[in-house]
Amino acid sequence: MDQIIFALDIGTTKICAIVGEARQGQLRIIGIGIEPSRGLKKGMVVNPSEASVAIARAVEKAEQTSGYDLSRAFISMAGEHIQSTNSSGTAPIGRNEGGVVVADIGRALEMAQAISIPQHRQIVHLVPRRYKIDENDEVKNPLGMFGYRLEVEAHIVTAAAAALQNLALCTQTVGITPEEFVLNALASAEAVLEPSEREMGVLLADIGGGTTDIALYTEGMAWHTAVLPIGGSHITNDIAIGLRVPFEVAERVKLQYGDCRPKEIDPNNIFTVEPFGGEKIQVGRQDLAHVIEARAEEIFQLIAQNIKESGYNGLLPAGIVLTGGVAQTRGITELASKTLGVPARIAPPKNLVGLVEAISSPAYATSVGLLRWAMSDHQAYRPGSARAGEWGQRIGKFLKALLPG
pLDDT digits (tens, 9 = 90+) for 297-327: 999 999 999 999 999 888 899 999 999 999 9
| Residue ranges of the chain that CATH labels 3.30.1490.110 | 83-156+380-400
383 band by pLDDT with thresholds 50, 70 and 90: low
What is the tens place of the pLDDT at every residue in 164-212?
A: 999 999 999 999 999 999 999 999 999 999 999 999 999 999 999 999 9
Phi-psi region of 379 (alpha: psi -120 to 50; beta: other; left: phi over 0): alpha
Is pLDDT of 72 > 90?
yes
Average pLDDT over residues 337-356: 95
Architecture of the domain made up of 83-156+380-400:
2-Layer Sandwich (3.30)
278 band by pLDDT with thresholds 50, 70 and 90: confident
User: Using CA atoms, how far apart are residues 57 and 72, in angstroms rounded to an integer?
Assistant: 16
397 band by pLDDT with thresholds 50, 70 and 90: very low
Q: Is residue 194 classed as helix, strand or coil in its secondary structure?
A: coil
CB 42 within 8 A of CB 229: yes
Helix count and strand count (H, E) for the chain: 11, 18
| Residue ranges of the chain that CATH labels 3.30.420.40 | 194-346
In order of 80, 81, 194, 286, the CA distances from 159 in angstroms are: 9, 6, 28, 41
Look at residue 313 in the predicted model and tell me its pLDDT: 84
User: Using CA atoms, how far apart are residues 312 and 307, in angstroms rounded to an integer?
Assistant: 6
Average pLDDT over residues 21-41: 93
Average pLDDT over residues 209-216: 96
User: Using CA atoms, how far apart are residues 151 and 87, in angstroms rounded to an integer?
Assistant: 11
37: nearest Cα among 68, 73, 5, 8: 8
User: Using CA atoms, how far apart are residues 252 and 22, in angstroms rounded to an integer?
Assistant: 36
What is the tens place of the pLDDT at every residue in 351-382?
A: 999 999 999 999 999 999 999 999 986 544 55
User: Using CA atoms, how far apart are residues 304 and 34, in angstroms rounded to an integer?
Assistant: 32
184: nearest Cα among 373, 357, 401: 373
CATH topology of domain 194-346: Nucleotidyltransferase; domain 5 (3.30.420)
Instruction: Give the Cα-Cα-Cα angle 258, 263, 267 (nearest 5 degrees).
Output: 75
Look at residue 382 in the predicted model and tell me its pLDDT: 53
User: Using CA atoms, how far apart are residues 225 and 155, in angstroms rounded to an integer?
Assistant: 9
344 band by pLDDT with thresholds 50, 70 and 90: very high
Average pLDDT over residues 261-285: 92
387 band by pLDDT with thresholds 50, 70 and 90: very low
